[in-house]
Homo-oligomer: A and B are copies of this chain.
């Protein structure tokens, strides 16, 4: 593999000049620029980005932490980020944290060690202190789906509480009075917020929240099924179930079918996230739209603006959820 040195030799100029045309930095006369470009083409020269990084302390890559590499939610998020950054010639290094504090921290440190210019983090398990410390270490980063007051401007988030509110309000408007709820893991911020929204909507409608109608799932499909089983056995009668994400809602619908409960005529179901296949379930799932693609794109834009000094980018940090009404929820009769 050709090095910058060979290029400079072939072009009859110095290392520095070659480096300059690569970065089209300072003025290089057009004549020498052409010579260099020609030499590069001739040698099929490709700069060694490791060497570039070491010398410049810039890697042109941004690190991304997701909880899981699979799953429609993170897939969309990664796509959005990579699409956006690639347009500007930046690269994406992806790691997963599996919602585990230890692993999240290890991943973040890896990315830092890899000299990423900035990080985009969907960090769920790591403490606020750790993140605050990151800032004081001078690390550039942005948080997706997490809110920390002192880091407010670095937080790209959805108003989860509002989302939870909308989902529940929708069912109440349809006449439902006995609402079951399957939440995400309560230690997760978004799960808490969605549940808060649910409670608020109940309160506003004059309905008391009943702990017995609430099951804590883990955001996996299977816990939706498990949740429905548990509710059928332990909870008072209910006519609908609000799920903290679509995966669990899907689990609920599948289990309901197995139990011979018709959705939506006997049981209305509402999800959260509007993942791609919510629209392919049967019945199609009423849900709260989580504009994760847009948010991923926005996180990338934030980095482009703050770190790579692209101007003219408007950063918007709080996104508003939208109710997406489909077939899984109908009027209570």
How far is B61's CA from A113's CA once the two chains are assembled, in angstroms?
13
| Chain B residues with CB under 8 A of A281 | 280-282
CB distance from A9 to the nearest CB of B (A): 21
When the two chains form the complex, which single residue of B82, B93, B277 contacts A69, counting CB atoms closer than 8 Å? B82
Check B254–A47 contact: CB distance below 8 A: no
How far is B283's CA from A257's CA once the two chains are assembled, in angstroms?
10
Closest to A137 in B: B1
9-residue interface stretch from A71-79, A169-177, A207-215:
A71-79
- A189-219: CB near B (< 8 Å → 1, else 0) gives 0000000000000000000000000000000
A92 lies within 8 A of chain B by Cβ: yes
Check A79–B70 contact: CB distance below 8 A: yes
A115 lies within 8 A of chain B by Cβ: yes
9-residue interface stretch from A30-38, A48-56, A119-127, A180-188:
A48-56
Interface SS of A by simple majority: helix
Residues of chain A in range 78-99 having any CB-CB distance to chain B below 8 Å: 78-79, 82, 91-96
How far is B280's CA from A277's CA once the two chains are assembled, in angstroms?
10
Check B72–A79 contact: CB distance below 8 A: no
| Chain B residues with CB under 8 A of A95 | 82, 91-92
Check A49–B113 contact: CB distance below 8 A: yes
Check A50–B47 contact: CB distance below 8 A: no
Number of interface residues of A (CB under 8 A): 44
A251 lies within 8 A of chain B by Cβ: yes
A68 lies within 8 A of chain B by Cβ: yes
How far is B72's CA from A221's CA once the two chains are assembled, in angstroms?
14
| Chain B residues with CB under 8 A of A46 | 109, 112-113
Given known contacts A50-B50, A70-B72, A93-B93, A280 and B78 CB-to-CB distance under 8 angstroms: no
When the two chains form the complex, which single residue of B114, B254, B279 contacts A50, counting CB atoms closer than 8 Å? B114
Check B250–A280 contact: CB distance below 8 A: yes
> Assuming A68-B75, A70-B76, A221-B277, what are 9 further A-B pairs, CB within 8 angstroms?
A46-B112, A46-B113, A49-B113, A49-B114, A50-B115, A71-B75, A74-B75, A253-B282, A281-B281
12 contacts between A and B (CB under 8 A): A46-B112, A46-B113, A49-B113, A50-B53, A50-B114, A50-B115, A68-B75, A69-B78, A70-B78, A71-B72, A71-B75, A254-B279
